[in-house]
Chain A
């Protein structure tokens, strides 16, 4: 295979290499420069530099901040120069979208694997010993709870949780608006500290206990210190990419586990649904907090905190991908969020990433690591997005755990639905060439399938499998 680079200078290549997944939409004009011919090579480079993983997928979207600037002016010209027809962009978009969806698979799967393995072997996380203070109603978890109770209590819990998240977001927004960066930083650092030390200590404890492994405190202290400090460095400063990705996976998994343990069963489901709506509101409403945040950052022409930008990214990644086709010049794809602005929604969110100075190229990786902070800083929000597929899966295995009947885990159905929905959305995208929200579709499918599977598909498949009848 050829490894030549076509029409690409070195700096561009380097930048593109670092382009995180979630940026697909945002980075489109930059990406556009990198035409088909390089695609494969970029691929390879990316793989060799091991960048095709987590970081991108999780909070994403900032790494190319630096690149944006340099690319922006060159982009359209280059693109026109190579492919010449703008329809191509759609296909590129699709291909990039496909690429990125697949890049999502690895980290999400890994994270799910961690969670599922933990949940099915460690009973600690499936036992309800307490609940989050935000979810005061737990009668629904009792065996004899009526459907009515379940519904209203889950709704109430989810509502409270949503309110908490909304308030947090607004507090964050206010802090940002009044430039209390130190407070925000402190917040992020504090939460990452807690996750990296406290939660992982609990995790270590229960895992050791579950597997009946004795360990002395000196070893534990050494382990925890190294794990936590390296994690803090990776997340807030810099570190090898692979390590950063690993930390992100670990952190996401820990968060999921905490939520599995402390959220009432049924609430988890409703929270999923509610979060979809909250996402739509926060990002799309003219006065939605996240949107305001982005706009503020944009006005200031400064980088936005990863925690803040993150929440708007993932849900709309596919939309963004679609938006990529809609350049100001060529507005054939209607974007959901595109209203009175004269640029596509995707670009709105690119702007903040334009940085006058930016970090040096060498520190882009640590920026990506900083994205990890998003996971921490926006615990609940992160939960709502990153965790959604996982939670689907987790809940499933949790039920398995609880129910002796279901000792075997239906491996991967939860994440499969998520992928399935995502892929299906992509296909729909290819058909309709229209902006489609990926995550809501995924989650909807996930929810439908989860319940349908539990009630309908499982008994059917179980009786088929146990009779060895194949369909």
Chain B
């Protein structure tokens, strides 16, 4: 049985997302709503890209084509969701601020970043789920991959890449929304470009005639580099600084504020 592999890969891919969800999302209904709605938007983007992929019959075998348009659609829908979120913002903000009356939340905390983080995570979770769930389902059976010569690291690399994409989407969410708010359009470019870059890098995972064994490191290492860069950018965007980081480690704050 490959159950251990199954659980291992599930934990790797979804462990961090699960932790984020449990501690930062699950207790606030609004965040859950936004999370799910944004995940829903990712699904819409996927639907559109699938339709396109399906419609253009001659290129159905060329995943690169579907991939490029899928990235574009995802970013479009991210923008759409941004718009909708901002439309609903008045309502949400009031709710959220009223909601904060009851527990002493830091007043300077903006809910915009929280909401962009939440929607980014929603995007990521949905993306991760769709990328990996079917693989996971196949993984649970008695067998592992390789009878046709596929790499035995297929599952691990899938899980690792899924994790990367979940986190990337989260960071992109924060950066992207902030970029629109601040009209820092180059940041939008950064997001779209890095998304396109990382996705295209994963094309290297394909097995082809000339490349019977995919070099997973060639896609995973750059993807993680991009992820850390994006993580840093998102951290900065959300107001994180080195000082803050240091402070949070050193100062055992007497104030017990939480995000929520």
Q: Which residues of A contact B (CB under 8 A)?
A: 1-2, 36-41, 87-88, 90-92, 94-95, 98-99, 101-102, 105, 407-412, 416-417, 419-421, 423-424, 426-427, 430-431, 433, 449, 452-453, 455-457, 459-471
Contact = CB atoms under 8 A, between A and B. Distances in A.
A457 B29 contact: no
Q: How large is the interface on B (under 10, 10 to 19, 20 to 34, 35 or more residues)?
A: 35 or more
A3 B196 CA distance: 48
A39 B206 contact: no
A36 B98 CA distance: 7
Contacts of A412: 129
B116 interface: no
Chief secondary structure at chain A's binding surface: helix
B233 interface: no
Contacts of B199: 469-471
Interface in B29-69: 29-30, 32-34, 36-37, 39-40, 43, 46-47, 49-51, 53-54, 63, 66-67
Which of B98, B135, B205, B206 is the most central at the interface, judged by chain A CB atoms within 10 Å of its CB?
B98
Contact of A88 (B39, B46, B98, B127): B98
29 contacts: A36-B99, A39-B99, A40-B99, A88-B98, A408-B136, A408-B137, A417-B40, A420-B40, A423-B32, A424-B37, A426-B33, A427-B33, A430-B91, A433-B91, A457-B50, A459-B54, A460-B49, A461-B46, A465-B134, A465-B135, A466-B135, A467-B205, A468-B154, A469-B67, A469-B206, A471-B46, A471-B70, A471-B127, A471-B199
A456 B102 contact: no
B237 interface: no
Given A94-B95, A98-B33, A456-B51, A427 B39 contact: no
Contacts of A467: 63, 205-207
A427 B32 CA distance: 12
B157 A468 contact: yes
A468 B206 contact: yes
Contacts of A410: 133-134, 137
Contacts of B214: 468
Given A465-B132, A469-B63, A431 B87 contact: yes
B31 to A, nearest CB: 9
A98 B30 contact: yes
A460 B131 CA distance: 11
B131 A470 contact: yes
Given A101-B29, A467-B63, A468-B157, A423 B103 contact: no
A17 to B, nearest CB: 16
Contacts of A466: 135
Which of A1, A98, A105, A409 is the most central at the interface, judged by chain B CB atoms within 10 Å of its CB?
A98
6 nearest CB pairs, A to B? A408-B137, A420-B40, A430-B91, A430-B88, A468-B205, A98-B29
Given A407-B137, A430-B91, A471-B199, A98 B32 contact: yes
Interface string B123-158: 000010111111111101100000000000010011
A104 B54 CA distance: 35
Contacts of A39: 99, 102
Interface string B108-134: 000000000000000000010111111
B100 to A, nearest CB: 9
Given A407-B137, A471-B49, A36 B101 contact: yes
B225 interface: no
A460 B36 contact: no
Nearest to A464: B63
A88 B94 contact: yes
Given A39-B102, A423-B36, A456-B50, 20 more contacts: A36-B99, A36-B101, A37-B102, A92-B95, A98-B33, A102-B33, A408-B136, A408-B138, A410-B137, A411-B137, A416-B40, A419-B36, A420-B36, A420-B40, A420-B43, A430-B87, A470-B162, A470-B199, A471-B46, A471-B199
B37 A99 contact: no
B130 A461 contact: yes
Interface string B155-173: 0011001100100000000
Nearest to A471: B70
Nearest to A37: B102
A90 B134 contact: no
A291 B199 CA distance: 54
A194 to B, nearest CB: 35
B14 to A, nearest CB: 12
Contacts of B158: 465, 468
B137 A2 contact: no
A105 B33 CA distance: 11
Interface string B167-184: 000000000000000000
B20 interface: no
Contacts of B51: 452, 456
A460 B50 contact: yes
B133 A92 contact: no
Given A468-B206, A469-B63, A420 B133 contact: no
A420 B37 CA distance: 5
A105 B90 CA distance: 25
